[in-house]
Amino acid sequence: MNKNIKICFMGSPLFGRNVLEKLIEEYTVVLVVTQPDSYTKGGRVVIEQPVKLLAKECNIPIFQPTNIKEDYKMMEKYDFDFLVTAAYGQFIPKVVLNLPKKLTLNVHGSLLPKYRGGAPIQRAIENGDEYLGVTIMETILKMDAGNIYKQTKIKLEADDTYGSMINKLSIQGAHDLIEVINSIDNIVPIKQDISNVSFAYNIQKEEEYLDFSNSAISVYNKIRAFNPNPLCHFSLDNQLYKVYSSRVLFDNSLNLPGTIIDNTKSLIIKCNDNALEILEIQPSGKQKMNIKDFLNGYRNRFKIGTIIK
């Protein structure tokens, strides 16, 4: 712990909150910069970012610019040694990167140079990577291209989802960040190998739909990569169903992809190769439920032989 070190933090979602929490324990956080509040469809209830909520609890000044490239003057009023970014959500201009006395550091949820961009954790899970990771790097003008100070691998377990990996990676990243800050003068950063660069583009709305003509393992990976948000879904008879969890089952039948092949004690759907057992599901307008409870009310709609397209 060194409260003489002053930090300005920029972040927004849960990934950022976990990093901020550790920074508050170790140093003096003088300012938190986060995304503007959003509203529900009715326009009445403010949805505040997890980072903002923590800053409010700890009485840390908060700055929420709509466009940091145009509105950054408030940051110039604060004196800080390090600027730390973690899932902030906007490109940061050079004038802001130059504000700290020492350095601007970023906590990124991938093993850079792999998965630069806004959805590294989701894309890694979707691709079925054996290991995910977190990188502490210098923030520069080019997206996720700065020199690397520290990296840590974390194994992707069979029951891991995007939600669980956010927690694991951000907690590890916070630990690594503290180590880097405390040893900054003794660490020689390494350049990224540009020949291994790949990108993790943000999730698009159309990607949320489940296509059972793909392999069962790819559908399974997609379901857990999109849980808890934005969640995958399929539709049957114009009714939408969100899927939270599943597992792959061996199946060598000649059924067409999307065919319901069992609805007795479980819901099993044929994929391109094997089959997928749905474990947790949410009909439109209803609560999430386990498959046993779901079939008690929806078995007649999910008849064996029905094809989900």
Rounded-to-integer distance, Cα 10 and Cα 302, Å: 47
pLDDT of residue 44: 74
Last residue of a domain, one of 144, 174, 196: 196
pLDDT of residue 21: 97
Same domain, 140 and 273: no
CB distance 291 to 247 below 8 Å: no
pLDDT of residue 75: 97
Residue 100 in any domain: the answer is yes
Query: Any idea what the CATH number is for the domain that residue 113 is in?
Result: 3.40.50.170
Same domain, 112 and 213: no
Residue 119 in any domain: the answer is yes
Same domain, 185 and 211: no
Last residue of a domain, one of 196, 229, 246: 196
Residues 201, 205, 210, CA angle at the centre, nearest 5°? 100
Same domain, 179 and 249: no
pLDDT of residue 1: 84
Same domain, 209 and 176: no
Rounded-to-integer distance, Cα 233 and Cα 227, Å: 11
pLDDT of residue 42: 72
pTM metric for this prediction: 0.94
How many domains does the chain divide into? 2
Last residue of a domain, one of 196, 213, 233: 196
Same domain, 191 and 222: no
Residues 174, 73, 27, CA angle at the centre, nearest 5°? 25
Rounded-to-integer distance, Cα 52 and Cα 56, Å: 6
Q: Containing domain of residue 218, as a range? A: 205-298
Same domain, 272 and 158: no
Using 50 as the pLDDT threshold, list the residues of the chain that sit under it.
Answer: none
Residue 61 in any domain: the answer is yes
